[in-house]
Every structure is written in C-alpha cells, then in structure tokens.
Amino acid sequence: MDSGMNKKWGRSITDAVKAAIEGSATIIQLREKDADTGDFLEAARACLKICRLHGVPLVVNDRIDIALACDADGVHEGQSDMPAHVARTLLGPEKIIGVSCKTQQHAQQAWRDGANYIGCGRVYPTNTKANNFTIALFDRECVTTETKRLHTVQTGRNEQ
C-alpha cells in the first residue's frame, strides 16, 4: 500500500487497506516511497487502526523507526536495507520480519537472520522501483523450494 499511488486512483490509503481486507488480504504492507516521516507515521497509525480492528497484521516497508513508533506488527527489508538480524534485535522476537530475496543465498541468509517470510521477486515488471531486476518464475521456484519456508511472490504494477 502506498498513499501516493492510491491518491492517483482517487482513494485514501485507509480506503485501500479496507478494500484489501474486504478482498481477503491476510497481511498488509505499508510501502511509502516518497512520504515525509511525519506523513508516513500518520499513514501507518491510520492503517494500523483498521488492521487491528480486523486482526490483520501490518508491516512497514524499510522503516524500522516507523514500525517501532506505531507498534506495527513488523517490517519488510530489502537486500540493501537494515539486515534482518539487526531488525530482529531492534524489534524483538514477536514481530514479523520479511526480507526481499532473489537467490537461494539471500533466502538462506534471511532464514539464518531470523526472517519470518521472504519476498521473492519481482516476477513481472513494476515501475515502483528502479534498478530492480525481474526474476523468472523458474528462478523463484529454485529460491523458494530450496528453502521450503513461507514466501510471497510479487506480480508487479505498471502505473502510468
């Protein structure tokens, strides 16, 4: 979920979260790429309120400080973000930690570091992140079957 993207579509981030939950989402990630810290925190608090009402966990992309500030359920970190073992130390044993992985080595390291899930992709193009190469479905299977643990897969968006 991203406030800027949803604004373009004429809806608020909270409406988007409600719609996702009505559509059976079982976990929500708040991924604000351009928001100021104060706006990000405000969005996180608003989304968390809805998520808590429905018993759906909310993870914050990249920003451990935001996750700690609003007591979100966890974070999602990329390969060049906060290492998962440091995130685990900061967040404690109960929070959810997801890690973006494109190779078996990434995945094995993520599990060693205490990740709860890996995000393996992207499989289709997206324009929400530059310099992020696409991996084939076959590669994704290699990463995820090797590690036999919980993973997500990304479909990609291509918004104009």
Ligand X SMILES: Cc1ncc(COP(=O)(O)OP(=O)(O)O)c(N)n1
In the complex, least distance from residue 20 CB atom to ligand TZP, rounded to whole angstroms: 12
- DSSP letter assigned to residue 60: E
33 annotated active-site: no
Is 127 in contact with 97 (CB distance < 8 Å)? no
75, two tokens = 């974070």
Give the separation between CA 88 and CA 95, rounded to whole angstroms.
8
Q: What is the per-residue binding string for ligand X in 114-143, x denoting contact by CB under 6 A? A: -----x---------x--------------
Residue 60 pairs in a beta bridge with: 30, 75
User: Alpha carbon of 135 to those of 50, 103, 111: distances in Å?
Assistant: 33, 9, 20
129 annotated active-site: yes
| 74 or 121: CB nearest ligand TZP | 121
In the complex, least distance from residue 154 CB atom to ligand X, rounded to whole angstroms: 6
Binding site for ligand TZP (CB under 6 A): 119, 121-122, 126, 128-129, 132, 154-157
Give the separation between CA 2 and CA 30, rounded to whole angstroms.
6
32 in contact with ligand X (CB under 6 A) = no
2 in contact with ligand X (CB under 6 A) = no
The residues that touch ligand X, with contacts defined as CB under 6 A, are 29, 31, 61-62, 76, 78, 81, 98, 100, 119, 129, 152, 154
